[in-house]
């Protein structure tokens, strides 16, 4: 409990300047919009589309259940989740280091989350918690393999495996990419069973039970959609769209290089920590298991090919655990490493968060934009944010002109083959419905623009709309058009 209080306080203080900012991140804006619309009967993927699993939207829906500011609610929920993750991480790190090294490992995780755009409520902040809890159970099972084989330990392994895979199942309903780490955890558990002397029939039975538990939440959600005749909508969003999303290789490579550079202090910590004697006999097994987990997390980061910075957050957990021996202070030469790790992490985290908040804007910017939009929309004439922030829908309480309300889905070329529909036809339908107001990027050709859908919007604006003003959100400028 004391560690949780420390971690919560550290996370809260570091994030305090940006608490309550409704524009902090484009993804979080949309998740909160989805969470809010759940309370109005919207069905994800059918009425409002995104490719994230249902569990993430339920978390944001829970944030909207609290009275008052939903933005502050989800951000405090995220801080709580990050602090709890750091607590479990320290317990894992105790297999490799003393209390000081484990504590510093938890702090490193909290600080570096901010460096990778997970300062508030990005999805990894929530799914890292069930993943680290599952890892703690798996590590405990592996550590017991050096002990004598007795019936109680066998039962304990089966129970721990069931709990770990159930937690993987929960994480899968927040982010599907954890399936890679989940497979690795399952193989580690089977190896532990083999070391316990389990025969092939028992190993096969355990594997079946564990896979079933991991897939159960997703299977239940799919069954619910299939029962309503919406199996196709579920599969397109959760499977097809992930494979169909495009990318700019040059831009993605630049993002990858930034992520790799920001993790340099961890590379040094791992190299130095590997030479430090471990405190217990079973620690070497645990260290190799965590190293395998790190490899799986890196594969999960690389697999989508987009290499966004927040995708690397799951790898921070095994990185921090493996760095714990070097952060312990038992070897005098490693003292400087702690200082470098935390100085770099704090600089990168606070710097990245400050730049992010400055670029996107704050409550004042959103309120001014919403005030300019409201006179031009009503129940029959929605706002359409072709380019801009989905928070504008929440701030104006506008109806939604399309189920593809996250602007980038219809306005960027990277999504044109991932939506299961023709984006140009959808934009033509939206503009034919005569939205009361339209927001579009003031730049002539924004980065990654879908020029076909943009041409449809520009043609309709020229024929039926007049430009009212320019709205500013942070450092970005958007043109506001109203119907004539």
Q: How far apart are CA 108 and CA 327, in angstroms?
A: 10
Query: pLDDT category, 243, cuts 50, 70, 90?
Result: confident
Does the pLDDT of residue 151 top 70, yes or no?
no
Summarised one tens digit per residue, pLDDT across range 263-322 is 999 999 998 888 777 766 678 889 999 999 999 999 999 988 889 999 999 999 999 999
- Inter-residue contact 32 to 394 (CB < 8 Å): yes
- Inter-residue contact 35 to 70 (CB < 8 Å): yes
Length of the chain measured in residues: 484
The pLDDT of residue 87: 97
Does the pLDDT of residue 144 top 80, yes or no?
no
Phi, psi of 174 (to 5 degrees): -115, -35
The pLDDT of residue 336: 78
The pLDDT of residue 337: 79
Best CA proximity match to 331, nearest among 278, 265, 288, 266: 278
Token pair for residue 52?
């994230």
Residues 6+ apart with CB under 8 A from 246: 413, 414, 415, 416, 417, 418
- Residue 354 per-residue DSSP state: H
Q: H-helix or E-strand containing 200? A: helix 200-227
| pLDDT top residue among 149 and 355 | 355
């Amino acid at each position: 409990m004391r560690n949780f209080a420390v971690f919560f306080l550290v996370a809260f203080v570091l994030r305090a300047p940006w608490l309550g900012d409704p524009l902090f991140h484009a993804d979080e804006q949309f998740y909160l919009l989805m969470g809010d619309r759940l309370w109005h009967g919207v069905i994800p993927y059918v009425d409002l589309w995104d490719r994230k699993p249902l569990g993430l939207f339920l978390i944001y829906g829970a944030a909207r259940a609290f009275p008052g500011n939903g933005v502050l609610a989800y951000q405090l929920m995220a801080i709580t989740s990050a602090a709890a993750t750091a607590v479990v991480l320290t317990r894992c790190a105790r297999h490799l280091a003393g209390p000081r090294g484990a504590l510093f490992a938890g702090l490193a995780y909290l600080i570096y989350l901010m460096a990778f755009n997970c300062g508030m409520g990005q999805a990894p902040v929530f799914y890292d918690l069930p993943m680290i809890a599952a890892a703690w159970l798996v590590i405990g099972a592996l550590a017991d393999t050096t002990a004598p084989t007795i019936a109680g330990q066998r039962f304990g392994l089966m129970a721990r495996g069931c709990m770990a895979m159930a937690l993987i199942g929960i994480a899968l309903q927040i982010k599907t990419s954890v399936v890679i780490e989940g497979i690795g955890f399952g193989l580690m558990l089977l190896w532990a069973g083999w070391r316990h002397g389990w025969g092939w029939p028992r190993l096969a039975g355990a594997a079946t039970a564990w896979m079933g538990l991991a897939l159960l939440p997703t299977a239940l959600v799919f069954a619910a959609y299939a029962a309503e005749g919406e199996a196709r909508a579920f599969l397109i969003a959760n499977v097809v769209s992930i494979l169909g999303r495009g990318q700019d290789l040059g831009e993605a490579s630049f993002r990858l290089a930034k992520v790799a550079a920001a993790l340099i202090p961890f590379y040094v910590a791992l190299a130095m920590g590997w030479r430090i004697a471990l405190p217990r006999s079973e620690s070497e097994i645990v260290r190799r298991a965590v190293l395998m987990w790190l490899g799986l997390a890196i594969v999960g980061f690389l697999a989508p090919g987009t290499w966004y910075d927040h995708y690397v957050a799951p790898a921070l957990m095994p990185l921090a655990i493996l760095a714990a021996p070097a952060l312990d202070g038992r070897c005098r030469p490693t003292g400087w490493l702690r200082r470098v790790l935390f100085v770099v992490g704090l600089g990168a985290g606070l710097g990245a968060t400050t730049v992010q908040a400055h670029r996107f804007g704050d409550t004042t910017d959103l309120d001014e934009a919403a005030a300019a939009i409201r006179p031009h929309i009503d129940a029959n004439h929605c706002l359409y944010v072709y380019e801009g922030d989905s928070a504008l829908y929440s701030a104006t309480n506008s109806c939604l002109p399309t189920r593809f309300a996250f602007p980038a889905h219809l306005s960027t070329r990277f999504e044109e083959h991932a939506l299961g529909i023709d984006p140009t036809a959808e934009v033509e339908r939206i503009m034919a419905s005569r939205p009361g107001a339209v927001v579009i990027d003031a730049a002539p050709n924004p980065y990654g623009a879908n020029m076909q859908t943009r041409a449809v919007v520009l043609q309709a604006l020229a024929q039926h709309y007049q430009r009212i003003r320019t709205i500013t959100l942070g450092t970005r400028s958007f043109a506001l058009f109203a119907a004539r």
